[in-house]
Amino acid sequence: MGGLSSEREISLKSGAAISAALARLGYHQIPIDVDHDIALTLRREHIDVAFIALHGRYGEDGAIQGLLEIMHIPYTGSKLTASAVAMDKIATDGLLKARKLPVPKTLVLRQTETRHLETMPLPLQLPFVVKPVSEGSSVGVSIVKTASEIKAALAHAFRFGDKVLLQSYISGKEIHVGILDEKPLGAIEIKSKGAFYDYDAKYVPGMSEHLFPAPLPPEVYQHLLDLALQAHQALGCSGYSRVDLLIDSDMKPYILEINTLPGMTETSLMPEMARKCGIDFDTLVEQILNTADIEHGD
């Protein structure tokens, strides 16, 4: 837990909740705050399995997964390749399009291409969304409504890498589907108090309203569950994930992203969906633990 990304504080909260659950379940658990000496720490502790509660760069992008595989330590969540692909929004977009799954219109902009920003034609019709390629928790995301907002939105997103994603803004319902052990838990609708489901809406209690199951026509609801599972499988995810979607006023869905290590804090959606399906937090943690590929560890 913890780690070196912009989502460190949320990861510490997820890790603390998971650690407490493992202790209640009777497991000998060792909370490890990941730093640059993580390989030495892992060797010193002789752990049997790693329960990954990291979010963002170096934890959700295949980096820690690759290290654990080199050290023959089994771990929870998706494997290296799926983790790397899901964290890279460009790669995710390409794979989903290849499977003919619905995604917003998307363009990639490199920092070197913004030198003549003032004279460039608008890349997308306003409004559109600007987001970093490899960040989670809505870090660095902006909704651009006027041409005068483009420069600041790009500068904000480029703080997290030299490429950013521009996506058509879709006005509609924000839907999230939890996948556990290759089955959808259900779909939850989020009504944010802000402009969208941003960092505060995700982690500050009271900043969003959660409706589960999402109040949608049955056939639309089932279609969203099917799409989410297809997206999970298209990227090769395993164990569990959370798929984020939007559905417009015509009930047309769009897949935004797949989170291979969704938050496990007290306000996180995955535990909430599980709880409303009759799976308490400790049981959820143990189910995730049991998805680790123990057979391929030492």
- Would you call 169 a catalytic residue per the annotation? no
- Would you call 7 a catalytic residue per the annotation? yes
Active-site position among 134, 208, 259, 268: 259
Active-site position among 60, 88, 198, 244: 244
Region of 205 (left: φ > 0; alpha: ψ -120 to 50; beta: rest) is beta
DSSP state of 175: E
Active-site position among 136, 138, 242, 268: 242
- Would you call 257 a catalytic residue per the annotation? yes
Closest C-alpha among 74, 21, 72, 76 to residue 261: 76
- Would you call 263 a catalytic residue per the annotation? yes
Active-site position among 7, 60, 88, 198: 7
- Would you call 248 a catalytic residue per the annotation? no
Between CA 59 and CA 1, with CA 281 as vertex, the angle to 5 degrees is 20
Closest C-alpha among 176, 295, 175, 178 to residue 240: 178
- Would you call 244 a catalytic residue per the annotation? yes
Q: Are 231 and 244 in contact (CB under 8 A)?
A: no
Active-site position among 2, 3, 15, 263: 263
Q: Are 233 and 159 in contact (CB under 8 A)?
A: no
Active-site position among 6, 134, 137, 208: 137
Helices 218-234 & 89-98, crossing angle to 10 degrees? 110
Region of 181 (left: φ > 0; alpha: ψ -120 to 50; beta: rest) is left
Residues noted as catalytic = 7, 137, 203, 242, 244, 257, 259, 263
